[in-house]
């Protein structure tokens, strides 16, 4: 039977980490080990994790960001598979069973993910916001257009991790260190997705990426992740068949569309202008018209 190591980085999540761990302990396919890496918390997170002594291994370190915490957890793990889970998210009870069975029947897949429900908790009840995770075409080319892989749904084959190496611990990538990692993995390994929610992504104040309310920050971080990949693989545009200038224009149009949806035409036009600085290709102009007149566009 394949062994799964669950890696949970934790920073100041004392109100949530207990429920997160319980969702792992409730799996119909129990993991071989649960490793929580406390990344310099200043609240009671470590005390909460210690209540699970004997069932959870706690590692502690100075604050260095989620990538450094995940890298420490991976280096300390022994499983055939590595499952990522954020300290405030939750799993469906059959998440690991479904994914391990899929991996067993698809030995070519190095990274498997699924859809997830975004939710807020109100008076102890989950209030669903929307579903995330695009499973239709999980390729490197598609990832260049945006991150569609919910972190807490990811199951990695250890051989894939060993081939790609650790996550980048650059401070400038905090918030998109996983997105940069998915793109590196997609160049080396096959990625697949299960078109069904197997996890709950919690929306709360303090999330590194939150629900996308900070449009400009989200765009800036995505561009940093793309820049990091471009520096590693300068030939990626030719290999993927993606036109760099048009992609960057589309990302700015997407940000402009988001500002338009909020009724902020100044923010919208600012990004439209930036898009046109990148490209005035007829396709870009058609995208701009669509983003302006439609209520749904991406």
Give tens-digit pLDDT for 264-282. Answer: 999 999 999 999 999 999 9
Identify any residues that bridge with 119 across adjacent strands, giving them in sequence order.
128, 202
Query: pLDDT digits over 154-173, tens only?
Result: 999 999 999 999 999 999 99
CATH fold of 4-202 reads Spore Coat Polysaccharide Biosynthesis Protein SpsA; Chain A (3.90.550)
- Indicate the pTM of the whole model: 0.94
Rounded distance, CA 212 to CA 118, Å?
Answer: 12
Give every CB contact of residue 43 below 8 A, 6+ residues apart in sequence.
12, 13, 14
The alpha helices in the chain, defined as continuous H runs, are 17-25, 45-50, 66-76, 95-105, 140-143, 158-164, 177-188, 215-232, 236-240, 244-261, 265-278, 282-293
What is the token pair recorded at 240? 């993927």
Determine the pLDDT at residue 227.
98
Query: pLDDT digits over 170-226, tens only?
Result: 999 999 999 999 999 999 999 999 999 999 999 987 554 444 568 999 999 999 999
Query: pLDDT digits over 9-22, tens only?
Result: 999 999 999 999 99
Give the rounded percent of residues in the chain with a pLDDT score beyond 90. Answer: 91
Determine the pLDDT at residue 213.
65
Rounded distance, CA 152 to CA 219, Å?
Answer: 21
Average pLDDT, the chain: 95
């Amino acid at each position: 039977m394949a062994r799964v190591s669950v890696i949970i980085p934790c920073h100041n999540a004392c109100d949530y980490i207990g429920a997160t761990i319980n969702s792992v302990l409730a799996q119909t396919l129990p993991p071989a080990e649960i490793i929580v890496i406390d990344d310099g918390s200043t609240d009671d997170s470590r005390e909460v994790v210690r209540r699970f002594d004997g069932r959870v291994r706690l590692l502690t370190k100075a604050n260095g960001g989620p990538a450094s915490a995940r890298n420490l957890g991976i280096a300390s793990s022994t499983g055939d598979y590595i499952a990522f889970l954020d300290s405030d998210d939750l799993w469906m009870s059959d998440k690991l069973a479904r994914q391990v069975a899929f991996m067993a029947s698809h030995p070519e897949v190095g990274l498997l993910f699924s859809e997830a429900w975004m939710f807020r908790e109100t008076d102890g009840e989950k209030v669903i916001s929307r579903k995330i995770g695009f499973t239709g075409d999980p390729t490197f080319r598609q990832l260049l257009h945006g991150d569609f892989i919910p972190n807490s749904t990811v199951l990695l084959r250890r051989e894939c991790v060993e081939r790609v190496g650790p996550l980048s611990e650059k401070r400038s990538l905090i918030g998109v260190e996983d997105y940069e990692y998915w793109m590196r993995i997609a160049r080396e390994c096959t990625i697949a997705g299960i078109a069904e929610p197997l996890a709950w992504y919690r929306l709360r104040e303090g999330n590194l990426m939150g629900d996308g309310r900070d449009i400009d920050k989200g765009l800036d971080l995505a561009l940093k992740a793309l820049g990091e990949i471009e520096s590693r693989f300068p030939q990626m545009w030719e290999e993927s068949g993606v036109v760099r200038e048009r992609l960057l224009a589309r990302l700015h149009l997407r940000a402009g569309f988001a500002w338009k949806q909020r009724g902020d035409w100044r923010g919208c036009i600012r990004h439209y202008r930036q898009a046109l600085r990148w490209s005035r290709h007829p396709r870009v102009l058609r995208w701009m018209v669509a983003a302006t007149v439609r209520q749904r566009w991406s």
